[in-house]
Structure formats: structure tokens, C-alpha cells
Amino acid sequence: MKMELCSLLTCAVLMLADAVQATYHLRAGDPRLVPAQSYAQTRHNGQPPHRTLSPQKTDSQCRSRPLDLVFIIDSSRSVRPAEFEKVKIFLADMVDTLDIGSDATRVAVVNYASTVKIEFLLKDHFNKLNLKKALSRIEPLAAGTMTGLAIKTAVDEAFTEQSGARPRSRNISKVAIIVTDGRPQDQVEEVSAAARASGIEIYAVGVDRADMGSLRLMASVPLDDHVFYVETYGVIEKLTSKFRETLCEVKVEVLEDPCKCEARLAFQRQTQATIQQLAAKLADISGRIEHLESLFARA
């Protein structure tokens, strides 16, 4: 009986030694536990995670949701030729941020001044190269600012199924982005309200001398998310990133983990699991020792 008790005591001492050694190896980098320590590094070298632990190192990517998107652009006399080229660059940059295709985002452009011209329809171009070539060929119309007429034309002619818009049953968002630097020479409130009522989401971009009151009458609500203003056409490109976020369906952020925070958490979890296993074994041995002691005392 004494020999059996001594054997159990010896086993308990060895278990305690194993616990200390296991903890040491966890801290020192036991090769058997490397997967726990390099958890963050392993994730980074494989498929990028969908969050960031270091904002300064975040590289955002996004995939735009499918849209029927119509740009309505002001090319009246107040828009100088060089400024109109800036608008075209802005549109081209926007196209670069979108997934273009027959089953993805379709783009049309309505150009307006005192008259309205549909430059191309939603059904015309299903790849970025052709779209950007078509954008480069657009010329300003020169006189007047008939914004209301342009919106009505977009609703009646550009957002129709005959022109390439998808049926309502497809639940494809219909979006109009209006770019103007002046005050409309016709009424925009009623025609904009009708467009919004038909399911078209309207963004209004004002440049320089644009009338903010008119922009607010045209845009969808909430206005803070749908009305934008830039001081000059020279900085209109800075809105590209804003629209990129707005039209983004899935935003993926690439992880950079210089502090190895996730590795530290994984190490802690592994340590806790090891200690819990050893504690359970020690409790079992302790119970056996108590049982043997009681038997020894009765003997």
C-alpha cells in the first residue's frame, strides 16, 4: 500500500514538472506549438482576413454592387473645356472603381445644357475599355442649364428596359449621379421627386457656383449622404473615393498585424487549454491519493 501511495505521489510531482515545462515551452517557442504562436502570420500568408488591426496599414478593396447607373453631366457655357475634361476624367475614374458588365454594373451618360443628349445607353457598353473610349468622345453642348429636362430625359429614356435597365424583379439598384456647376434654368423639384418615387436614387454633385438649394431639391434622402460639393473641377476627382465607399457592396480590409496581437491571443488560449488539462489530471491523482490514505489509515 505504501509503495502504491509513493508511486502516485511521484506521478503527481512529475505532472507538476510537466506543467512547468509546458508553460516554459509555450513561452520559449516549442516547435510543437509554433502553429499557435504564428497564427496571425499564417493567416496573413494565406487568405487575407476581413478586418484590420492597424489602421495605418489598411489597404481597402471593394466590389461594387450591381447598378443601373446613369451619369447626368452639365456641359453648359459656364463649364470651360478644360473643366469638362476634368469631369470626363472623374467619370473614367468612377468606371475604374466599378464592376462593369451585363450582369454587374451598367453605365449610361446623359449630357445636357439647353438641350439634352444621351451619349450612350445602359445596353451599349459592358466592359471598361469601351466605356472609357465612349467617355473620351463626349463633347460639351455649350449653352443653358436645363437640369430638370435632363433628369426627365434620363427617367423616360435612359432608365427604361428598352435602353438596357434591368426589370424591377431583378432588384438592381437604379442610381443617377448629377454633376453641375450652376443654377438650373428650369424646375427640378417635381421631376426629381417623380424620379425618386420611381425608385431612382439621386446623388447631386455641385461644383464652384452650383446652387446648393437646387442640389438638395434633386437629391435623395438622407441629404448628407447624397449631396456633395467641391470648390473647383480641379478637385472633383477626390469624390471618387467617396463614391467608391458609397457604392461598395463588400469592403475587404487587408490585415497588417505588427504587434502580433492575434498570435499573443492564440498563445494565451493554448496555454490555458494545457493548464486545464494538467489540472484535471492532477485532480484525479489527488482523489486517488486521498482514497489510498483513507485505506491506509484504516489498515
Residue 95: CATH number of its domain: 3.40.50.410
Look at the pTM and tell me if it is higher than 0.85.
no
252 pLDDT band (50/70/90 cuts)? Answer: very low
pLDDT for position 263: 55
Q: Is 170 exposed, middle or buried (0-12, 13-18, 19+ CB in 10 A)?
A: exposed
Establish whether the linkage from the previous residue to 222 is cis, with ω within 30° of 0: yes
> Do 43 and 91 reside in the same domain of the chain?
no
Region 175-202: mean pLDDT is 96
Query: Lowest-confidence range among 8-22, 35-49, 103-117?
Result: 35-49
pLDDT for position 244: 84
Asked if 207 contacts 236 with a C-beta cutoff of 8 angstroms, the reply is: yes
> Do 75 and 171 reside in the same domain of the chain?
yes
The residues, any chain, with a CB within 8 Å of residue 90's CB and separated by 6 or more, are 179, 236, 237, 239, 240
> Do 70 and 35 reside in the same domain of the chain?
no
Domain that holds residue 280: 2-55+260-298
Which H helix or E strand runs over 117?
Answer: strand 116-120
> Do 162 and 206 reside in the same domain of the chain?
yes
Is 18 in a helix, a strand, or coil?
helix
- The CA dihedral of 105, 108, 140, 76, to the nearest 10 degrees, is -100
Stronger pLDDT, 180 or 293, i.e. the higher one = 180
Provide, rounded to the nearest whole percent, the portion of the chain with pLDDT above 90. Answer: 54
Number of domains the chain is built from: 2
Backbone angles phi, psi at 172, to 5 degrees: -90, 125
Left, alpha or beta for 187 (phi > 0: left; psi -120 to 50: alpha)? beta
- Residue carrying C-alpha cell 457604392: 247
- CA 119, CA 152: separation in Å to the nearest integer? 15
